[in-house]
Each structure stands twice: as structure tokens, then as C-alpha cells.
């Protein structure tokens, strides 16, 4: 009988064969999940990067729109946040930033060739805002001062600036010493100075005879008072000669001349003086300025701040001796010294300070130079003898020296405003005014003027005077001038430094599908 054999199966049982398909399916599902998760993560990362890149692109483009007039005139980089208006337009800054950011967020913007945005990233303007900004005037004008210092350091170089600072500082110290030294000479010590000169043989002693006694002696003899019979030549001979005799007291002429004012004495023709003036209400320092928020301005972290401000002023703003003075004020360096509303008063203030410095230096020279001390003593003795009051000689001698120093200082200023040079400390060779012309220093004395090649010029003396101003005053008045000068240009009539932006922080938002992204970045100018 035939028996059918059972078939034997090798390998996986029938029920296990479907598990391979299930395993592969699950594996593929897992891999697809990972792939799609990776793609989503990449898309999110790309969106975040696009938002940040768009914001940086927007800020970079906005800050590339620095005020051209301010940069070309003074080398300073600020955004004119007023955009030609009289108001601070932060909304315009934000709008400009958003506009440029969209070129990154949406590559199809203004694309004539078409295309699509793979991220479908859209700017969410509800999430965009200016969260902080710094203006040029913040924290006592810190941004403006920093940019001026950085610009001048780049332009002139630190080595040259240190040399200028050292020279100016030395001149300032010498000027201070001269002022202090001049302050030690007092009329109360006139007799002491005169007796010293007599002891050194510079002047013979004046005969001690009172005017009243002389009158009585002459009257008893039936003679006329000596003053009516004594000639100028006799007085000059009695007191050593060598001095032009003076019947008319030069101190009288000196006082009359001095009362005319500094400008009339320095300038023969006052019509050369500018008559320009400004409305002080328009100045930055005379109004309530806008201020930034949410950001701390970067300070100047170097040295020589005052020197840098001074050199910026002298390099970019005109003074009296500059040929190009077509500005709202012609004497702008003098404005920083005087702070007045018109050129005439500012020039007067600067020349008055300069004259005081020169007079102090000149008086110190006269009190120490034997030759001119002798001349002053002899002239004083002659005048006192003519007045029959020899006791006046010491005081007249001191007064003559003061008048002589003043007259010399006027000649110094005349030389300086005409482009000449005058040394800070005089010598016998650089002295100008003769004793004969003490009372005529604005007339005949002009013929004695001479420039000293090794001296300081008008601008150098302005530099010395500026040392007496603080950094704050320098910065404020320079900013006033900067505003006024920029406003003279067409289309810049509403320019204001307190609307000039140095740095800004902006936050923008964007949306991809249901996901929202935000980024915040700060941007500012750095001239280093």
C-alpha cells in the first residue's frame, strides 16, 4: 500500500514570514520621521538664520545712509534721524530696516524673473520695533565727543597729537606762570622797586623836596614857581638824560587811548570786522534736546580728549586769520572762547584775553630788564620833578611800566591779526614799543611793529586760550557751530544733532506657517 510522505519545510515558519515586511515598514516610517523632523529642524534653523540675516542686512543698509553733509564737512558718521524734518523719525528708521530685511526674508521681492520662497517666510510687522537707540547728545554729548576723538586720531596720528598736546601744554603752563608772576607786581610795592633800581645805579635818587616848601621858598624871594621857569631839557639833564622829556604826562594819553576799547586800538579800519550774528534760541545748548533710551553710548576710552577737541575745532572751523570764512559766523574759534552771539563780540572777547596774557608777559619783562627799568625810572623822575612832587616818582615809574606793557601788548595784537608771530616771552631783541611812544601806541607806535619768526601766531595763541575751557564747554560750543554750519546747506535747514543716531537696537519678527521667529540686534558706528 502506498503511503504519502509529509513535506518538510525549512527556514522560517509560515506565521513569521510577514514580520520582515512589518519590520521594514516600521524602519522606513522611523527613518521618514527622522528625515521630516530633520527637514523641519533645518527649516526652522534656516528661518531663524534668515530672520537674523535679514535684520543685520536691514541695519547695515540703514547705517549706510549716514548724513553725507556731516561726513563730508567734519568726517562724522551719524544717521539723520529727522530725515529732513524737525522731528525724530524712529518709525522711518524701522520702516527702512524692515524694507531692506525683506530682501533676505523674501528672495522673490522685486524679482522680475519670478521664483518662489521655499521657506514661505513672511515679515510680521506687528513684532517689529525699535527697542533702544543712542543720539549724538546722550550722556553729555558722549557719542559726539567719541567720534570726534576717533576721527582726529585717525586723521592726525597719535604721535603727532601727543607732540601737539605736549607743546600746547608747555605753552599753557608758561602762560599760567606769566599770569601768576605778573600778579605779584603791585603798586603798593612801587617804592621798593624804585629803591632797588636806585641801589643798582639805574636811576639817581630824586631830590627830596616837597612842592609846598618850594613854593614858599620862591614866594619869599618874590620869584615865580619853579614849574613855570624849568624847561623839559633841564629836567632831562638833571635826571641823567637819555629820555625824551615829557611835559604832557604819557599816562594821561595812555588812559585816553585805553578807553577807546580793544577793537579800535587793534584795527585801524573796523569795517574789516565781520558783523554776522546768530539767534541764540536756535542753538542746541539753548533748547531742550531729545535723548536716547535703552542703550548706553560707547565712551571714548583713549587719552588726549581735550587736545583732540581743540585740534578738531582749529582744523575744521574758521578764525579771524582764515581766508575762507563763508560760514554763519566768520570767527568760529573765537565763538568757542567768547560764547557770544555775534562775531564782533567774540573777536573782542578773544583779543581781550590775548591782550591780558601779552600784557602780563610784557610787564614781567619790563620789571626784570635793567635797561627799560632805568628808562621808566628816569621818565618818572622827570615827570615828578616837573610836578614839583618827587615823592611820586616810584609810583609813576610803576604806572609807566604798566602802561608800557599795555601799549606793547596792543602792538603784539596788531602783528598777530595781520598774520605775524609774537613770542610768548619777550627779549630785548623782540621788544617793539619805545618809551617815547607809550602814549601813542595806536599811532606812531605802529611803525615799530615787527614779527618774530620764532614766535607764536594768532592760531597758536587761540590754542593757548582754549586750554582754559573745559571739555564740556568745548564740545557744546563745537556742536552749536556744527549745527549752524550744516543748516546752511540746501535741504538741511531742520538739521539737529539731537536727532542724529549713533547706534540703534531693533527687534523684528517673521512667520513660517504657524511658527513665529524673532531676532534683536544692535548696530552702531565705530571709526576705529
Q: In Å, how far are 250, 381, 519 from 253, measured between CA atoms? A: 5, 18, 79
Write down the pLDDT at residue 160.
74
What is the C-alpha separation between 140 and 474, in angstroms, rounded?
12
CA distances (Å), origin 410, targets 354, 406, 413: 10, 6, 5
- Of the candidates 90, 88, 99, 92, the one whose C-alpha atom is nearest the C-alpha of residue 55 is 99
pLDDT value of position 153: 86
What is the pLDDT at residue 354? 96
**For position 45, what pLDDT does the model report?**
77
Question: pLDDT value at position 178?
Answer: 84
Residues lower than pLDDT 70 in the chain: 1-18, 110-120, 158-159, 206-250, 252, 324-325, 386-388, 442, 444-445, 527-528
The cell numbers describing 277, all together, are 550774528
Interval 296-315: pLDDT, tens: 998 888 778 898 999 999 99
Question: What one-character DSSP code corresponds to residue 335?
Answer: H
- Using an 8 Å Cβ cutoff, are 93 and 480 in contact? no
Are 208 and 392 contacting, i.e. CB atoms less than 8 angstroms apart?
no
Question: Strand, coil or helix: what is 515?
Answer: strand
pLDDT for residue 183: 84
Q: Are 298 and 464 in contact (CB under 8 A)?
A: no
| Predicted pLDDT at 256 | 72
Give the domain ranges of the chain.
29-141+500-524, 183-274+360-456
- Give the separation between CA 405 and CA 213, rounded to whole angstroms: 35
User: What's the burial of 398, exposed, middle or buried (CB within 10 Å: 0-12/13-18/19+)?
Assistant: buried
pTM, two decimals, is 0.83
At residue 5, the pLDDT reads 54
Amino acid at each position: 500500500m502506498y503511503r504519502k510522505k509529509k513535506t518538510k519545510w525549512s527556514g522560517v515558519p509560515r506565521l513569521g514570514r510577514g514580520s520582515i515586511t512589518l519590520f521594514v515598514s516600521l524602519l522606513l516610517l522611523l527613518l521618514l520621521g527622522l528625515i521630516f523632523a530633520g527637514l523641519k529642524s533645518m527649516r526652522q534653523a534656516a528661518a531663524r538664520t534668515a530672520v537674523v540675516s535679514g535684520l543685520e542686512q536691514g541695519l547695515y543698509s540703514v547705517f549706510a545712509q549716514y548724513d553725507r553733509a556731516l561726513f563730508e564737512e567734519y568726517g562724522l558718521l551719524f544717521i539723520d534721524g529727522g530725515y529732513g524734518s524737525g522731528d525724530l523719525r524712529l518709525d522711518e528708521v524701522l520702516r527702512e530696516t524692515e524694507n531692506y530685511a525683506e530682501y533676505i526674508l523674501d528672495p522673490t521681492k522685486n524679482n522680475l524673473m519670478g521664483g518662489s520662497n521655499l521657506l514661505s517666510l513672511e515679515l510680521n510687522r506687528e513684532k517689529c520695533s525699535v527697542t533702544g537707540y543712542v543720539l549724538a547728545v546722550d550722556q553729555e554729548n558722549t557719542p559726539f565727543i567719541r567720534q570726534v576723538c576717533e576721527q582726529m586720531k585717525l586723521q592726525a596720528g597719535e604721535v603727532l597729537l601727543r607732540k601737539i598736546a605736549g607743546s600746547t601744554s608747555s605753552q599753557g603752563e608758561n602762560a599760567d606762570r606769566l599770569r601768576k608772576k605778573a600778579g605779584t607786581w603791585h603798586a603798593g610795592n612801587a617804592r621798593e622797586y624804585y629803591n632797588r633800581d636806585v641801589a643798582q645805579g639805574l636811576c639817581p635818587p630824586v631830590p627830596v623836596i616837597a612842592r609846598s616848601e618850594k613854593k614858599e621858598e620862591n614866594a619869599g624871594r618874590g620869584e615865580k614857581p619853579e614849574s613855570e621857569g624849568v624847561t623839559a631839557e633841564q629836567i632831562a639833564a638833571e635826571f641823567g638824560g637819555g629820555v625824551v622829556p615829557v611835559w604832557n604826562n604819557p599816562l594821561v594819553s595812555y588812559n585816553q587811548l585805553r578807553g577807546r576799547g580793544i577793537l579800535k586800538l587793534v584795527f585801524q579800519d573796523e569795517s574789516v570786522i565781520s558783523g554776522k550774528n546768530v539767534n541764540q534760541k536756535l542753538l542746541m545748548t539753548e533748547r531742550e534736546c531729545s535723548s536716547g533710551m535703552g542703550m548706553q553710548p560707547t565712551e571714548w576710552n583713549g587719552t588726549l580728549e581735550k587736545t583732540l577737541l581743540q585740534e578738531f575745532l582749529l582744523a575744521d572751523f574758521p578764525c579771524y586769520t582764515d581766508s575762507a570764512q563763508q560760514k554763519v559766523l566768520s570767527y568760529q574759534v573765537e565763538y568757542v572762547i567768547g560764547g557770544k552771539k555775534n562775531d564782533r563780540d567774540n573777536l573782542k572777547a578773544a583779543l581781550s584775553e590775548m591782550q591780558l596774557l601779552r600784557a602780563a608777559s610784557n610787564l614781567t619783562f619790563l620789571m626784570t630788564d635793567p635797561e627799560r627799568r632805568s628808562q621808566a625810572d628816569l621818565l618818572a623822575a622827570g615827570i615828578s620833578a616837573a610836578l614839583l612832587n618827587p615823592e611820586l616818582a616810584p609810583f609813576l615809574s610803576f604806572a609807566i611800566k604798566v602802561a608800557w606793557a599795555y601799549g606793547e601788548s596792543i602792538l603784539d595784537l596788531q602783528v598777530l591779526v595781520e598774520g605775524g608771530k609774537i613770542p610768548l616771552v619777550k627779549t630785548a631783541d623782540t621788544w617793539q614799543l619805545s618809551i617815547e611812544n607809550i602814549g601813542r601806541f595806536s599811532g606812531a607806535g605802529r611803525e615799530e611793529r615787527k614779527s618774530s619768526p620764532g614766535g607764536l601766531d594768532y592760531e597758536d595763541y587761540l590754542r593757548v586760550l582754549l586750554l582754559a575751557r573745559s571739555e564740556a564747554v568745548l564740545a557744546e560750543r563745537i556742536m552749536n557751530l556744527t549745527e549752524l554750519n550744516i543748516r546752511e546747506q540746501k535741504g538741511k535747514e531742520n538739521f539737529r544733532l539731537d536727532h542724529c543716531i549713533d547706534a540703534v537696537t531693533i527687534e523684528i519678527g517673521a512667520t513660517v506657517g504657524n511658527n513665529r521667529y524673532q531676532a534683536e540686534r544692535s548696530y552702531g558706528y565705530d571709526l576705529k
